[in-house]
Chains A and B, each alone.
Chain A
């Protein structure tokens, strides 16, 4: 940073929702949620409110847990297959009609093949989640001088409840509600809990470089330790964040 004027200021959002599922990657088929929101899911919430990927990226610095993690078991019908790119391209060109992936029907009605289009999977989700998330706008080098403007835009949008799309808590079917907090606003104390989560997913993409829709994933993990209800998120470039070789 060239001068203190350009230092990013912490932006704080209070986030809550009825359900959340921050799936552990190792348990993502029969889903089991981390007890606390991951930095990447938190980043996704900020992105939903204000995002300019060519100008800046959000970095999460701190997550405060405001309600005790409580699990709830859900069973949902899910699809087994992915949509085929070739079929979609063919549909775009007008050569064929799209074949839907049905989560609650037998595919033989449509195609005469396969047995069932759906599969029932468990989700161990969280209920009544409530967090206070601190994040910074990290502008890419050519936009460093615009940081104040970017922050102001974010604050205007967030204070009015504007978002590009509904923020969500891990899964799109679990909407997140948010409120912008003012820096000097008195804040409720986080829950008095300690959780040693172990290795937790930090992000799936490289946060140091400006990516695009075709960027290859780069998984990073960190040792997550909630102390007195606060999860301090290390800087992406720090040694505490372990990245793929």
Chain B
């Protein structure tokens, strides 16, 4: 998978040489070409409250390990604290900051040979009075000591110049050699290994660069390592650190740059998991990104429109209308972090055609009648909404389940079985509290059942019986019991109006698990409700209920499995939606005020 990240860096990111990295810089110290300090400038989109600054694509970069072992600070861009000793720190801390400032200016003095204009900055930074002036201006602008700062001389940013590039590369190389000579016992020739990414003979990098942007999924804000062997127990065969999985420095820098870029531009966060995706070839402008549609549910209207959109895309791929899309490949990586280390949770790759087909199937399998009826489908579920339908607090979804569901969505495989248990529990709780049942929760049950039956031998017939709308012909007694429950609820409401805790609130939970224990009591109860209605629709209800009993035959199931409980829930939900749609129920008014399913997602 790392080779695919390197491919991405080669194709989509310009500069990925070791020692360089794109950086966002929010502030610049403005100097005249004569060396006079003039002002502090805010860079980037200054009208944006969350302005992160201007992106410089090729900044000099030291890894944290290099900073520690080589004893230098960053070059040309660093925190305001280091650049200008801009701090409120006490004496001891201040001494450390001054020491850092000195190493920062030392690098500038070394680089002056290659870029004489830097002498302007150096003189200013070595002058106490100028530093005080800079600090005062930084304070005026409310700059944080940890904000990145660079320089502008006249109209030019030295960061954007290429004059220092060669000097920087040779400086890093010299540092690398001198550092290696200090600690290495094994001769260099013995350290040549096969790179696990490129397959070339290389000298493996000892510690890998850190990936940023994973602090929201458990990583550190200073960066998180993907490949690292920090503990002795994780080194094998006498190998030291990076030798355990030899990777060259340039490949390591490339995969890090690719991950940084993907996290920034093509990622979605689901609780503790961050998903990044990309394509081998850039998608043409006239095509949609199917994974974006899955993640953001970026579709106006119902699932039907989502399906139409995906179908159109599929047809375009099949007909070759969108050039190069048919051969394109997708890659999808799910990441979490713990402390300083990245955990890969999933890696999926495949053809874009199968991806589009699978996402189409995801929406198709999840499609369910709108709870308000009216022959309309529920809105297309965002992936996040699907997760939210399983638990009360979204943070309670375990990360492995997020990944398993994600895999189901994009590979078309079966949904993990725990999801139906979670969805059912959520539905039961909602109904007992007279709260709305979420469309996505019912969608999950339907999708699970469809894929479960299709994967079984001879299960296609069962799958065909599961429809978006109510299916009165469904052969499962569990499904019919669910429908019966809906009729009982509707009948009670018609007969008595809002009674607070109705049959659903009282009996749904037990009926959905042990119907034989409850249905008898509910049938007796329904007779009282029918007698109340008299000619006002009572006969109609009686007929429907007896039809269902006829379909179920002699036996009402004693206990229901999780799959059968899902069928029960589906039968109840779809029948409720159908009752809402129905216009002609004897002489009764349309049932619109029922308290069972009301709110929107």
Residues of A within 8 A of B (CB): 24-30, 32, 71-73, 78-82, 119-120, 122, 124, 196, 198-199, 204, 216-217, 219-221, 223, 242-245
A202 to B174, CA, bound (A): 35
B177 within 8 A of A: no
Whether A28 touches B194, Cβ cut-off 8 Å, given contacts A124-B345, A217-B237, is: no
* Cross-chain contact of B237 among A30, A124, A204, A220 (Cβ < 8 A): A204
Q: List 28 A-B contacts (CB under 8 A).
A: A24-B245, A25-B244, A26-B196, A26-B247, A27-B344, A28-B245, A29-B229, A29-B230, A29-B341, A30-B341, A32-B347, A72-B400, A73-B399, A79-B233, A119-B231, A120-B338, A124-B343, A198-B4, A199-B196, A199-B199, A204-B236, A216-B238, A217-B238, A221-B196, A242-B199, A243-B194, A244-B194, A245-B193
Whether A221 touches B194, Cβ cut-off 8 Å, given contacts A73-B399, A73-B403, A242-B199, is: yes
Distance to closest chain B CB from A156 (angstroms): 33
- Is B3 in contact with A198, judged by CB distance below 8 angstroms? yes
* Cross-chain contact of A30 among B201, B239, B344 (Cβ < 8 A): B344
Identify the closest chain B residue to A25 (Cβ): B245
- Is B399 in contact with A82, judged by CB distance below 8 angstroms? no
A26 to B194, CA, bound (A): 13
A81 to B232, CA, bound (A): 5
A209 to B233, CA, bound (A): 28
Distance to closest chain A CB from B399 (angstroms): 7
Distance to closest chain A CB from B428 (angstroms): 27
- Is A27 in contact with B197, judged by CB distance below 8 angstroms? no
* Interface contact tally, CB-CB below 8 A: 89
- Is A81 in contact with B192, judged by CB distance below 8 angstroms? no
Whether A245 touches B201, Cβ cut-off 8 Å, given contacts A29-B229, A80-B233, is: yes
Distance to closest chain A CB from B276 (angstroms): 15
Across-interface contacts of A24 in B (CB, < 8 A): 245
Distance to closest chain A CB from B447 (angstroms): 18
User: How would you classify the secondary structure of chain B's contact residues: helix, strand, loop or mixed?
Assistant: mixed
Across-interface contacts of B233 in A (CB, < 8 A): 78-82
Across-interface contacts of A223 in B (CB, < 8 A): 199
Q: Which 3 A-B pairs have the closest CB atoms?
A: A26-B245, A73-B400, A25-B245
* Cross-chain contact of B342 among A30, A124, A217 (Cβ < 8 A): A30
Across-interface contacts of A32 in B (CB, < 8 A): 344, 347
B residues 389-445 near A (Cβ < 8 Å) are 399-400, 403, 407
A30 to B337, CA, bound (A): 10
Identify the closest chain B residue to A101 (Cβ): B233
A198 to B255, CA, bound (A): 15
- Is A221 in contact with B232, judged by CB distance below 8 angstroms? no
A124 to B342, CA, bound (A): 13
- Is B237 in contact with A27, judged by CB distance below 8 angstroms? no
- Is A244 in contact with B400, judged by CB distance below 8 angstroms? no
Across-interface contacts of B343 in A (CB, < 8 A): 30, 122, 124
Across-interface contacts of A122 in B (CB, < 8 A): 338, 343
* Cross-chain contact of B234 among A29, A72, A73 (Cβ < 8 A): A29
B residues 1-36 near A (Cβ < 8 Å) are 1-4
- Is B344 in contact with A219, judged by CB distance below 8 angstroms? no
B227 within 8 A of A: yes
Across-interface contacts of B197 in A (CB, < 8 A): 199
B145 within 8 A of A: no
B228 within 8 A of A: yes
Identify the closest chain B residue to A70 (Cβ): B413
B residues 68-96 near A (Cβ < 8 Å) are none
A82 to B232, CA, bound (A): 6
Whether A242 touches B244, Cβ cut-off 8 Å, given contacts A28-B234, A30-B338, A124-B345, is: no
- Is A242 in contact with B239, judged by CB distance below 8 angstroms? no
A80 to B201, CA, bound (A): 31
Please give 14 more A-B residue pairs, beta carbons under 8 A apart, in addition to A199-B3, A217-B237: A27-B226, A28-B229, A32-B347, A72-B400, A78-B233, A199-B196, A216-B238, A217-B239, A243-B194, A244-B192, A244-B193, A244-B194, A245-B193, A245-B201
Across-interface contacts of A79 in B (CB, < 8 A): 233
B residues 141-160 near A (Cβ < 8 Å) are none
B246 within 8 A of A: yes
- Is B232 in contact with A80, judged by CB distance below 8 angstroms? yes
A24 to B3, CA, bound (A): 13
A30 to B230, CA, bound (A): 12
B559 within 8 A of A: no
Identify the closest chain B residue to A200 (Cβ): B196
Distance to closest chain A CB from B358 (angstroms): 15
Identify the closest chain B residue to A221 (Cβ): B194
Across-interface contacts of A199 in B (CB, < 8 A): 3, 196-197, 199
Across-interface contacts of B403 in A (CB, < 8 A): 73
Across-interface contacts of B341 in A (CB, < 8 A): 29-30
Distance to closest chain A CB from B339 (angstroms): 10
